[in-house]
Structure 1
Amino acid sequence: MDRFFDVVGTLSWLCASLAKLLIGALILLVVADVVARNLGLKAMTWAISASEYSLLYITFLAMPWLVRIKGHVFVVFLRALFPPAIQRLLEKLVYLTCLALCLYLGWVAWSSMLGAWQKGSFESRTFDMPKWAIFLPICLGFGLAALEWLRFLMTPASIYDANPLDAEGV
């Protein structure tokens, strides 16, 4: 089981690395668009649509890695009010809830992606984007995030560890 979750972790890291590259590309795109406008050159009309799609990809590609390294926001004050046995129970309930939400939303995105693929639909803005490509990072993000929550549920790892980055070797 550890080997499986190691592979999931590697995939999550690769997705997050791609998200980092997209952030860099997005910065360069915005700078190029601003420079072009200020120099009186033709505006890059496609840049707005490209930046919007990039933000979608960045969000969902980074999500599983943030779950893995405990980089998301969570509240601990309520948990601290209870004895250790109740704390462990609450922790497992959080994992199950997050897992269920990721699976449900991933399933909705998967269904939407398959429908868009079958219909061959496109989203038309300054350039045509296949609709399935819009749902792809959502499916990937929720799917890998669900596996990361499953890892917390099935292993001794906890989102409440003191130094999450030390545990992952980041």
Structure 2
Amino acid sequence: MTDLLNTFEAKFIRFNTAIAIGVAISIGIFTLLVPFDFMLRKLRVGGLEWLNEGAEYFLFFGIFLSATWVLQQGAHVRVDIVISNLPVRAAAWLERAMDLVGAVLCAIMAYLGARSTFSSYLLGTLPDKDLRIPNWIILSVFCIAFVLLTIEFLLRYRRAGQHGYVAEASAGF
């Protein structure tokens, strides 16, 4: 069972790294498209009317879907004042308790997101924008992101239970 969990965790980490790379590439593409759109408009040959809303959607997708990678890297916002002033055992216990709280909260958010996604799909709701991606697609990204975060919190709980492990914050990249 341990081997199966280790394999799952390794693949989960690779999956989230791939998502983070995809998000970084999409940000790079939009970074190139903005001046291109500006040039097209200045030359009066048209423009990319969908660009602002497209960037808005992709930033939403990117922020939610890469949140798990950020959590894996320890690059999330975290206050270590309490944990750093506790004995190692108490710090490890508190770390695990907070991982369980995080998993429960993310599971609740995933459930609520799934309900909203299903309702939006049944109603066929669309945003009042030029680039009209159905609301259920947007909400499904929200739901998927919280499922991924729930899994990561449970994996953190598992890691924290091994060898007195206490997660450390990192600088991110």
The answer to whether TM tops 0.5 is yes
Tell me, what secondary structure is at the counterpart of 1:122? coil
Equivalent position amino acid for 1:52 in 2: E
Tell me, what secondary structure is at the counterpart of 2:53? helix
1:159 aligns with 2:164: no
Which residue, out of 72, 76, 79, partners 1:75? 79
Equivalent position amino acid for 1:42 in 2: G
CA distance in 2: counterparts of 1:28 and 1:117, whole angstroms: 34
Instruction: Please list the CA deviations of residues 60-116 of structure 1 after superposition, one character each: whole Å capped at 9, or x if unmatched.
Output: 121111111212121112212222222112111221121122111122111111111
CA distance in 2: counterparts of 1:158 and 1:65, whole angstroms: 18
Give the Å deviation of 1:127. 2.1
Instruction: Please list the CA deviations of residues 100-157 of structure 1 after superposition, one character each: whole Å capped at 9, or x if unmatched.
Output: 2211112211111111122222223112111111112212221111111111101235
Aligned-pair RMSD on alpha carbons?
Answer: 2.1
Kept in 1, the 8 Å contact 2:74–2:167? The answer is yes
Question: TM-score under structure 2 normalisation?
Answer: 0.84
CA distance in 1: counterparts of 2:62 and 2:28, whole angstroms: 11
CA distance in 1: counterparts of 2:140 and 2:132, whole angstroms: 16
Kept in 1, the 8 Å contact 2:110–2:142? The answer is yes
Which residue, out of 6, 9, 12, partners 2:10? 6
Kept in 2, the 8 Å contact 1:18–1:61? The answer is no
Residue pairs, 1:1-170, within 5 angstroms: 1-155=5-159, 156=162, 158-160=166-168
User: May I ask how many residue pairs the two structures share in their alignment?
Assistant: 165
CA distance in 1: counterparts of 2:35 and 2:45, whole angstroms: 13
Give the Å deviation of 1:38. 2.5
Q: Structure 1 regions of 5+ residues with no counterpart? A: none
Tell me, what secondary structure is at the counterpart of 1:42? coil
Tell me, what secondary structure is at the counterpart of 1:74? coil
Amino-acid identity (%): 22
CA distance in 1: counterparts of 2:56 and 2:156, whole angstroms: 32
Kept in 2, the 8 Å contact 1:96–1:153? The answer is yes
CA distance in 1: counterparts of 2:6 and 2:142, whole angstroms: 25
Q: Structure 2 regions of 5+ residues with no counterpart? A: none
Question: TM-score under structure 1 normalisation?
Answer: 0.86
